[in-house]
Amino acid sequence: MIKDTVKQALQDLFPDPEPVVEEPVAQEADGEEAGDSKKKAKKKEEPRANGVLERDHAKYGCDLDVQLEPGELLATVMILDKASFFLESITGVDWIKEDQLEVVYDFSRYDFEICRVVIRTRTPRSTPLVPTISKIFPGANWHERETHDFFGIKFDGHPHLVPLLLPEDADFHPLLKDFKP
């Protein structure tokens, strides 16, 4: 099935995340966990270190969630293009405490009941630059312009990165968390 092929191609591209090691739970004298005995120890979520995470679609809204470096973006997008995925959307996230901006790409396919892939890449807030995917997915042109308008992320190689919704002379990005109107 092509869905497994894409997953395997993505997993082959990126190393697996480090395995999760659960911390031991302190036991009280009567054998119960320390603290509230009704609470179960929660498994920590796997850290994303350039990995591919398979997700429960009903819970997360996607089947694969990929965190990668900006330099790995084009190769990944080409895999999705060859596997007949289409681009749904591109948006940004401001991680102000980490001093980073994230670009989030949503891809889907028509021929599966549910098959959604989320690609995430982060860039420093001081120099927000990622490569354009508009040469692979021409519909990305408008999404990238909108993301540039609202977050200030520059898409390297974009054919016409001018304001789409903001005035042409706008020198602000209204969805940055430190934006003051």
The torsion of the CA quartet 63, 3, 113, 73, rounded to 10 degrees, works out to 50
Residue-wise pLDDT tens digits, 8-48: 777 665 545 555 455 555 555 555 555 554 444 443 445 44
Spell out a b/e string for 87-103, using b for 16 or more CB atoms within 10 Å of the CB, else e: beebbbebeeeeeebbb
- The tokens describing 66, both together, are 């990929």
Which two tokens mark 121?
């890449």
Report pLDDT for 55.
Answer: 75
Judged against a pLDDT cut of 80, whether residue 97 lies above it is answered with yes
Domains of the chain: 1-14+47-181 (3.30.460.80)
DSSP reduced 3-state for 3? helix
What percent of the chain shows pLDDT beyond 90? 48
**CA–CA separation, 65 and 12 (whole Å):** 14
User: How buried is residue 60: exposed, middle or buried, by Cβ count under 10 Å (0-12/13-18/19+)?
Assistant: middle
- Taking CA atoms, 165 is separated from 88, 132, 142, in Å, by 19, 19, 10
d(CA 87, CA 138): 9
